[in-house]
Amino acid sequence: MFKVSVMYPNQPGTRFDMDYYVEHHLKMARELMGPEGLVKIAVDKGISHNGQPAPYHCIGQLYFENLAGYERAIEKHGVRLRNDFPNYTDVTPLRLFSEVVL
C-alpha cells in the first residue's frame, strides 16, 4: 500500500481551518481520487504539549492501493485540489511519500 502524508507546519502567524479541511477539502479529495484507487483518508490534528505549540497544524494521510493510482489521481485532479488550499490555509504543505510496511 502507498501513502502520502500532507503535513501543514504550524508556523507563527499561519492559518489553518480544520473544519473546512475536513468537511470540504477532504470530501472533494475522496470524491475525485476514490476512482483512482484511494483506499482511505486519515487526519491527525496537532495539539500543544508541555506548553509548546504543535509542530504541525495537521497531517492528512491519503492511502492508495499503489503509487500508480496516486499518480493518476494527481495528474487528473491535482490542480483543482491545490487551488482549494487558500480556502483553508496559507501554509505551504510538506509531503512525505511512503510505502506502508505494517
Q: Give how many domains the chain has, as a whole number.
A: 1
Name, in order, each residue with C-beta under 8 angstroms of 61's C-beta and a sequence gap of 6 or more.
Answer: 3, 4, 5, 6, 41, 42, 43, 44
- Band (pLDDT 50/70/90 cuts) for residue 83 is very high
**Where does the pLDDT of residue 53 fall: very low under 50, low under 70, confident under 90, or very high at 90 and above?**
very high
**For the chain, what's the residue count?**
102
With H, G, I as helix, E, B as strand and everything else as coil, classify residue 58: strand
Please report the pLDDT score of residue 91 as a whole number.
97
Q: For residue 36, what is the domain's CATH number?
A: 3.30.70.100
Q: Which three cell numbers stand for residue 35?
A: 476512482
pTM: 0.93
pLDDT in tens, 85-101: 999 999 999 999 999 99
Q: Containing domain of residue 82, as a range? A: 2-99
Q: Residue 94's pLDDT is what?
A: 98
Query: What nine digits make up the cell of 56?
Result: 504541525
